[in-house]
């Protein structure tokens, strides 16, 4: 039998859009988990993941390539472009639920001085630096889809969306960037 | 756009992130198998429709995902307060009276 090799391609692989005020590109592949846990499991999970899970709404914590985003009172999105958070959670004994959503989600990186304005074309949240500072994150709406927004720098955002909506999200951002 | 205060996110968020989820504080009868049809109908179908303060369940579905309760004035459409699920109904007599007075003023002006 012929030797066959398979490689997985990201839904937005290689897509890029640049303009004077904003650049939009597909984020590199990453491992992600959706983590649900009660207060009594937090210490163990934080130790296992090597990151202190944030408890304050709209905040995140980072350690190297790993980022933990507060989504709800008992829910986090953990993103890691190098390590595998699901494997780390598997070693934790405390009761929790860690669902690997690496391939359900894909991400778009939006950066440049007009990044917030371009995202605001579809997102009703206040993205000013006072209200949505660097490191802030939130599940919210973008146009007609749900996204997780994460501010990685003053002028850079990571937009996490479901893969089947990624074309819509990318085209929406591209369209919004025409006005930037 | 309305801004709704989410008691779990501890800030006001745009209404697009929320979904209305019916009347709040509807207690499920403990002996639901034994109650009469009329009693069941009252629990299951009958809802208040007040002019003034209404207690409602809302869900921050595109945010933290949590259900919470809100007191909303059905005349002005203003949210008087929001509070976490499981917390008791807040006393809002003053706010209600104020709104009633305003409503009466509106009626007499007509």
Query: Would you say residue A63 lies in a domain?
Result: yes
- Taking Cα atoms as reference points, which of A2, A13, A7 lies closest to residue A163? A13
| Mean pLDDT value across residues B33-39 | 95
Q: Which of A100, A116, A138 is the last residue before a domain boundary? A: A100
Res. B108: pLDDT tops 80: no
- Would the CB atoms of A139 and B62 count as touching at under 8 Å? yes
Last residue of a domain, one of A65, A81, A100: A100
Within 8 A of B8 by CB-CB distance, chain A residues are 57, 72-73
Mutation choice for B interface testing from A74, A141, A161, A162 by most B CBs within 10 A = A141
Specify the pLDDT at position A18.
87
| A67 shares a domain with A128 | no
Chain B residue with Cα closest to A71: B64
At residue B70's C-alpha, the angle toward residues B93 and B28, to 5°, is 95
> Which helix (H) or strand (E) segment is B103 a member of?
helix B93-109
Same-domain pairing of A108 and A172: yes
pLDDT tier at A47, thresholds 50, 70, 90 = very high
- A132 lies in the same domain as A84: no
Are the Cβ atoms of A125 and B64 closer than 8 angstroms? no
Contacts of A73 in chain B (CB under 8 A): 8, 64, 66
Task: Say if the Cβ atoms of A125 and B1 lie within 8 Å.
Answer: no
Q: Looking at the domain assignment, is residue A42 inside a domain?
A: yes
Strand arrangement of the beta sheet that strand A105-111 belongs to: A16-18, A23-26, A105-111, A156-162, A145-153, A137-142
User: HSE (CB half, 13 Å, CA atoms) of A38?
Assistant: 3
Closest CA to A26 of A135, A143, A176, A161: A161
Q: Which of A72, A100, A128 is the last residue of a domain?
A: A100
Give the closest of B13, B17, B65 to A75, CB-based. B65
**Position B9 confidence tier, pLDDT thresholds 50, 70, 90:** very high
- Domain identity same for A35 and A88: yes
Check if the beta carbon of residue B79 is closer than 8 Å to that of residue B15: no
Q: What is the CATH number for A80?
A: 3.30.70.1520
**Interface contact A73-B16, CB threshold 8 A:** no
d(CA A161, CA A139) in angstroms, rounded, equals 10
Nearest by CB to B64, which of A73, A141, A146?
Answer: A73
ipTM summary value: 0.88
Instruction: Decide if A94 contacts A44 (C-beta within 8 A).
Output: yes
**Superfamily (CATH) of domain B3-109:** Folate-binding superfamily (3.30.2270.10)
Q: How does pLDDT run across A141-152, given as a tens digit for each residue?
A: 999 999 999 999
Domain ranges of chain B: 3-109
Contacts of A58 in chain B (CB under 8 A): 9, 11
Domain at A117, CATH number: 3.30.1360.120
Query: Does residue A108 share a domain with residue A24?
Result: yes
In a domain, A69, yes or no: yes
Range of the domain at A96: 31-100
Decide: helix, strand or coil at residue B27. coil
Report yes or no on A12 lying in a domain. Answer: no
Query: How many domains, chain A?
Result: 2
pTM of this structure: 0.87
In a domain, A13, yes or no: no
Q: A57-98: per-residue pLDDT in tens?
A: 999 999 999 999 999 999 999 999 999 999 999 999 999 999
- Tell me which DSSP letter residue A24 carries: E
E strands within chain A? 16-18, 23-26, 31-37, 60-63, 66-72, 75-80, 96-100, 105-111, 137-142, 145-153, 156-162
Average pLDDT, rounded, for chain B: 87
How far CA A115 is from CA of A38, A97, A134, B15, B43, in Å, comes to 35, 34, 13, 23, 50
Q: Is residue A6 part of a domain?
A: no
């Amino acid at each position: 039998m012929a030797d066959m090799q398979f490689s997985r391609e990201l839904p937005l692989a290689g897509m890029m859009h640049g303009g004077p005020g904003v650049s939009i590109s597909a984020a590199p592949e990453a491992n992600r988990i959706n983590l649900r846990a009660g207060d009594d499991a937090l210490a163990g999970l934080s130790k296992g993941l090597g990151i202190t899970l944030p408890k304050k709404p709209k905040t995140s914590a980072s350690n190297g390539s790993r980022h933990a985003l507060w989504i709800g009172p008992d829910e986090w999105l953990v993103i890691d472009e190098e390590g595998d958070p699901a494997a780390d959670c598997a070693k934790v004994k405390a009761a929790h639920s860690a669902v690997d959503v690496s391939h359900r989600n894909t991400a778009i990186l939006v950066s440049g001085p007009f990044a917030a304005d371009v995202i605001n074309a579809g997102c009703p949240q206040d993205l000013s630096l006072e209200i949505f500072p660097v490191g802030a994150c939130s599940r919210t709406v973008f146009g007609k889809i749900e996204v997780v927004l994460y501010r990685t720098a003053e002028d850079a955002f990571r937009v996490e969306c479901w893969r089947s909506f990624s074309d819509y999200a990318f085209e929406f951002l591209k369209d919004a960037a025409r006005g930037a | 756009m309305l801004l709704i205060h989410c008691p779990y996110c501890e800030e006001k968020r745009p209404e697009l992130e929320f979904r209305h989820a019916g009347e709040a504080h509807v207690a499920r009868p403990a002996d639901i198998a034994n109650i009469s049809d009329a009693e069941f109908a009252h629990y299951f179908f009958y809802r208040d429709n007040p002019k003034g303060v209404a207690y409602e369940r809302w869900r921050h579905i595109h945010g933290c995902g949590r259900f919470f309760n809100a007191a909303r004035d059905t005349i002005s459409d203003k949210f008087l307060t929001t509070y976490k699920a499981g917390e008791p109904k807040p006393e809002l007599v003053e706010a209600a009276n104020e709104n009633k007075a305003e409503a009466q003023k509106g009626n007499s002006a007509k």
